[in-house]
Structure formats: structure tokens, C-alpha cells
Structure 1
């Protein structure tokens, strides 16, 4: 940390601008984001409850799905309530302490990294199920699932430790206006009066390591899945096998597409307002869409939801 000087007053609180350019439409934005947040909570809670209550879904794929739903609930809850408070002008809704800002950034990064590794674990599950079905019970036992899930959470938790430590060592001497709707690294670094070269390098390398490690597992898993499917002579059997991983592949495409664009891009492509739009997509829109993707593309989940909520029209799916 740089030494304190009389001319530099250490910032102890930040003010998040959020969507300042939509002041006249802030109630419309509040309604939209609040509705999306409620949908996210209800959808993911429904999946958690249905998988927990329906014994027919007591399988590794759905075990990982409940972890993904827990992540989505936490992921959106870290940023959205604070953003909503700022939109409606709640007293102190736009203000956040320095410690609170770092905590929000830590938890958001932790959950994002955990989701990357969890999606990789789910890809491995689909790879074993399709490519080595006779060994599935041995390779993806309940013990293995628990260890994989625990590893995802642990590695995800460790991911932001060094980046947040380096952030805490920077000096912020004003202004304290964060041009974003949550405490993301880029707008915070723009406010620092310290040399941020090391911090930017570490952020880039850590993000790249998480994305490459998890996406490599996913790419290798699906590469083997495609190779196996090409050797299945029956088109019906080939489609049946692929349909078991179609929902996961869709979720992976949405999540990784936005993350790769957001964190592995040139500075020339950077735009604060455009970054906000992309951030809204991966922090609010994607968590809302994921449960729909899994329920709409998965007959077992639709059937379990129908049984749980006694929806006769869903029976027989």
C-alpha cells in the first residue's frame, strides 16, 4: 500500500452509479430486474425442491444440477438486491463501504469461478455416461460426486484470494464513484491512484486460468462425446444420447460465451456501458434462463415438476 500523505484522503466508501442514464425509466428497469430476480429465485428453488423430493432424480446429473441452482440463487443475490435499492433511491442504496465492496467482489468472483468448475464436472459426468456407460456406476459414484462438488466450491473459494488481497493493498484517494451496478474489478481499478499493473496482470492470469482449465475439461469431454456419437449407427440412438447433454451444452454456451467476451478481450473493445449490458446478461439473465433450459429440454425434470405440483397437463411427458 502506498504511504498516506496529507494530500491524499483514503476513500472509505464508494457510490455506485448503476444505470444513471435511465433516470426517467428507472421504475421500468426496477420492475424488469425485480421480476427477473424473482423468477430466478422461484425457478432455482423449484429445481432444488423437486430433485430433493423425487427419488427418481437421485442421480449424479441432478445432484450437480442442485448445486448449480444454489449457485445461481447466491450469484444473483450478491448484486441484484443492492442494484434494485439504488434504482428506487433507497437511502444509502447506492453507497457501499470499502470493506463491503471488496466482500461483494470476493463473493461474486468466488461463485463465478465455482460455476465454471461445476459446469466442467457436469461435462465429465455426461462424458462418462455416454462414452463409458458400463463403468458409469464405478467412475461417477456418490462419493466421487461429493468430492467433485466439494473441490469445485473449494477451488472457487480460493480463486479470488490473491486478486482481492492485491485490491485491498491499493490506495483509493478519490473520486469514489463506481461506474457500474456492482463492485467489479475494472471500474474499481480505474479509481485507484496506485500503480495497478500487477493487479491487472494477476486478474487477467487468474481469470484466464479458471476459464481455460474448466473449458478444456468441457471441450475434451464433449469432443469425446461427439466422437462416440459419430460411431453410433442408429440415428435415433444417437439423438437420444445427445439429448441427455443438450441442456448442459446450451447452459455452457451461454455462460462461457459471455465470460470469455468479458474477461478475455482487448482494451480497444472495452466500453463501460457495453460492459454493463454484458454484466447484466451473465449475472441476471443467464441465471434466470438456466432453470428454464434444464426444465424445458429435460423430460425427467418436467415430469418431476408435474408430479410435484400436480399439473395434469405435464403427465406423460
Structure 2
């Protein structure tokens, strides 16, 4: 019946098939709440405290805003759908396109910001390149007619959208693969180059203070990057194995929620300026005013 429908304005999202639905719902719900509070707190802190108006903190603020934006488009809708029966998990095609665009912008922007952080300099906060690349990615999909209505994922992404079509998607696959390869090559390449140079400096210098500072600063950034990289690569790998489709869906959801929750903790706790600001706020609340 599904193959006879053409360009339907309404699509159906596939459920997240797990036995522990309610524990998973609670985990995602409270993780999302923490993500919102932590990232809004970081963004407000950087905006309010003029001493944090530095390239690295502005980039960190961008990362927090990206986490907020990317997760707020996807997670609330997913939580609501988890409590609905499968027949009621419906989404309009254009809402699905917006969700897919946001999903890919979230990933591309995060990789871009982390690459810039690796170079430890401010290149461009409002660089339009990620927007254009993701726009082309989704534009190639929008040109396709649709003969199916089932999104084989708990949320929309580009692959799920162009799989709705019965037309030739060769161009989509080529561009999508090229886009992914360039993003990951540039991302991994910049990290390897930067950390190789840092390692060489640390090995050739006898300054323990400098080495400890480099280790402390770089380790936090590297942990965030590796979590983001491996979770993203896991989704791409699992796409090639249909028998693990349920595992892919769970990993895809965690790919959004976990990095967004960990970023404020890892960067916030390691930043001396942020810790000082938080301490000042606590003291003002605790000490009575006379």
C-alpha cells in the first residue's frame, strides 16, 4: 500500500524499539533538562562576564548554543513520540526536512567548532560554509519525488528522507559520501596535525608547568572530540548493516544527547575563569548583605 502513495504530505516515524521504554524515556528527559540548564548557563555566563569575551570562550559559547539548538529540535519530539502508539507517530514532510537540516547542521557545526578549538584561534564564528554544504545536501533530497511514507528512524535525517523516494538517488549518495569524507578528513586531519605539534613541543621542552597546562587543556578537548567522532562514525557504520538497525537508532539518539550534556561539564570544570565566576555567584548568594 505504501509504494502507491506519491509525495504524501504526512510521514510516519519508526519507533525506538527497546524493552525498557520508560527508563529510557526518563533517562532522555532528565539528560535533556540537564543539557538545557547547563548549556544555557554557560551561554549566559560567557555573555555576562566581560572577562570571558575571548575567542576560545566565544567558541565554547557557540558549541553550547549549537547543542541547545540541535537537541531542542529533535529530543522533545522524540520524547512525545515514545509515549504514542506507532500509528500516531506522524510528522509533516516539511517539519521532517527542517529536523533533518537541523540534525546535519548540529553535527557539521560541532565538528567545525572543535576543529577551530584545536587550532586555538578564532577563525569565523558566523562562517556560512557549513550552512551552504548542508543546504546542498538537503536540496538534492528535496528535488526527489516520494513514493513511501515510513521514516525508518525515530527522527528525520537526510538518509531517511531520500530513502522515501523511488527515483535514482545516485547523486545523493555520491554527494553525501563526499560531504562525510571531507568533513571527517578535515576534522581528523586537523586534530592529528595540531596534537602532533603539541606533543613534539611537550617532548622537546623541559618546562613541567607548560607540559601540565598543555595536558590539562588538550585532554578535555580531545575527550569531547573523540566521543563526538566515534559516536558519529558508529552511526555511519551501522547504516551499512540493516540487521543492527535498532542499535543504530539508539546510538543516533545518544549521539545528540551525550556530547551536549558532557560539553558543559568537561569544559566548564576545566576553565579557571568559569569556576571563579561560579564561585563568586555562590558567595553572593550565601553571604548576607549588611
Q: Name the TM-score, length of structure 2 as normaliser.
A: 0.88
Is the contact between residue 11 and residue 172 of structure 1 (CA under 8 Å) also seen in structure 2?
Answer: yes
Match of 1:223 in 2: 196
Which whole-Å CA distance do the structure 1 matches of 2:220 and 2:273 have between them?
12
Question: Paired residue for 1:28, among 20, 23, 26?
Answer: 23
Which whole-Å CA distance do the structure 1 matches of 2:147 and 2:84 have between them?
26
Question: Paired residue for 1:110, among 102, 105, 113?
Answer: 105
Question: Paired residue for 2:33, among 13, 31, 38?
Answer: 38
Q: CA deviation at 1:203?
A: 0.9
Match of 1:173 in 2: 147
What SS is found at the alignment partner of 2:136?
helix
Is the contact between residue 238 and residue 248 of structure 2 (CA under 8 Å) also seen in structure 1?
Answer: no
Cα–Cα, structure 1 residues 111 and 204, in superposed 2: closer, same or farther, change >3 Å? same
Match of 1:134 in 2: none
1:54 matched to 2:49? The reply is yes
Which whole-Å CA distance do the structure 1 matches of 2:53 and 2:215 have between them?
21
Q: CA deviation at 1:11?
A: 2.1
Match of 1:88 in 2: 83
Residue correspondence of structure 1 range 145-294 to structure 2 within 5 A: 145=122, 148-151=124-127, 154-174=128-148, 176-263=149-236, 267-268=240-241, 271-294=244-267
Cα–Cα, structure 1 residues 188 and 291, in superposed 2: closer, same or farther, change >3 Å? same
Which whole-Å CA distance do the structure 1 matches of 2:166 and 2:283 have between them?
59
Cα–Cα, structure 1 residues 68 and 198, in superposed 2: closer, same or farther, change >3 Å? same
Q: CA deviation at 1:86?
A: 0.7
Q: CA deviation at 1:188?
A: 3.3
Is the contact between residue 34 and residue 84 of structure 1 (CA under 8 Å) also seen in structure 2?
Answer: yes
Q: CA deviation at 1:105?
A: 0.7
Is the contact between residue 259 and residue 282 of structure 1 (CA under 8 Å) also seen in structure 2?
Answer: yes
Which whole-Å CA distance do the structure 2 matches of 1:155 and 1:225 have between them?
28
The CA RMSD over aligned residues, in Å, is 2.6
Which whole-Å CA distance do the structure 2 matches of 1:188 and 1:243 have between them?
42
What SS is found at the alignment partner of 2:64?
helix
What SS is found at the alignment partner of 1:149?
coil
Which whole-Å CA distance do the structure 2 matches of 1:7 and 1:277 have between them?
30
What SS is found at the alignment partner of 1:96?
strand
What SS is found at the alignment partner of 1:271?
helix
Out of 90-99 and 283-292, give the one that drifted further.
90-99
Q: CA deviation at 1:311?
A: 8.2
Q: Deviations over 1:200-251 (max 9, x none)?
A: 2211111111221233222211111111111121334311222122221111
Which whole-Å CA distance do the structure 1 matches of 2:274 and 2:100 have between them?
33
Q: Deviations over 1:61-101 (max 9, x none)?
A: 11111111111101111210110111222999721111111
Which whole-Å CA distance do the structure 2 matches of 1:202 and 1:263 have between them?
15
